[in-house]
Amino acid sequence: MNKHIIYLAAGSGSRFGSNKLLCPLEGKPLFRHGLDTLAGLVRARKDCDLTIVSRYGPVLEAAQAAGARAVDSPDSARGLSFTIRAGLSALSPISPEDFLLFAAADQPRLGSGTAARLLDAARPGVLTAAACWEGQPGNPVLFSAALLPELEALTGDQGGRVVLRRHWDRCILLPAEDPLELADADTPEALLALRQGESDTLKSY
């Protein structure tokens, strides 16, 4: 059984008005927060690997420097499903016994503890698991590779939530350590809220 972390860092930032992933947050680009957290987790655990999917040079360069698999995905401009498939293709072949943890690059407050608990949930019989706050699910989300055909069949801007909702009755909810971990930076106002430590922009499924 292999555990694969796929870091989705190819968003267009249409609601943000510019490339949000490169916006500064506490001295480094937004995307670097999650990348650094996950790369550090992979180095510490040694039971998982990290794949970064992006269409932006600075992100891909940082991924390579961190020792992660860097996947250039120009088709991500066509929607989230293309980013997901690019990551899955880079990992092929994937065994049905494997697990896939998807994390979003616009959630910079993700902590290693929450990501680690999701990875620890990967065991035979588990289909999905998601981080949550007060019962409200969000990213990251863990999928059994048994769901690989459904993930590969996503179209347009569909994401993992489509698959998760089909199997909601088998989803394990794991509380995050802080509500800010589920908060995204989809707009300049949301990024400002993150800077101020507010959590009113939770990315929910």
- 57-65 and 30-45 helices cross at what angle (nearest 10)? 20
Give mean pLDDT, residues 40-55: 97
One CATH from 2.160.10.10, 2.60.40.10, 3.40.50.720, 3.90.550.10 for 3-195 = 3.90.550.10
**What is the SS3 assignment for 203?**
coil
**What is the SS3 assignment for 35?**
helix
Give me the phi and psi of 201, to 5 degrees please: -125, 60
* Ranges 42-56, 62-76, 149-163, 183-197: which has the least confidence: 183-197
Residue pair 36/42 in contact (Cβ under 8 Å)? The answer is no
Give me the phi and psi of 119, to 5 degrees please: -65, -35
Confidence (pTM): 0.93
For the chain, give the mean pLDDT.
93
pLDDT tens track for 191-205: 888 888 765 545 555
Give mean pLDDT, residues 51-63: 98
The count of residues in the chain is 205
CA–CA separation, 37 and 150 (whole Å): 28
CA–CA separation, 20 and 14 (whole Å): 9
pLDDT tens track for 75-95: 999 999 999 999 999 999 999
CA–CA separation, 106 and 103 (whole Å): 9
CA–CA separation, 51 and 121 (whole Å): 19
pLDDT tens track for 121-166: 999 999 999 999 999 999 999 999 999 999 999 999 999 999 999 9
**What is the SS3 assignment for 135?**
coil
Which of 115, 79, 130, 108 is closest to 190 using CA atoms?
A: 108
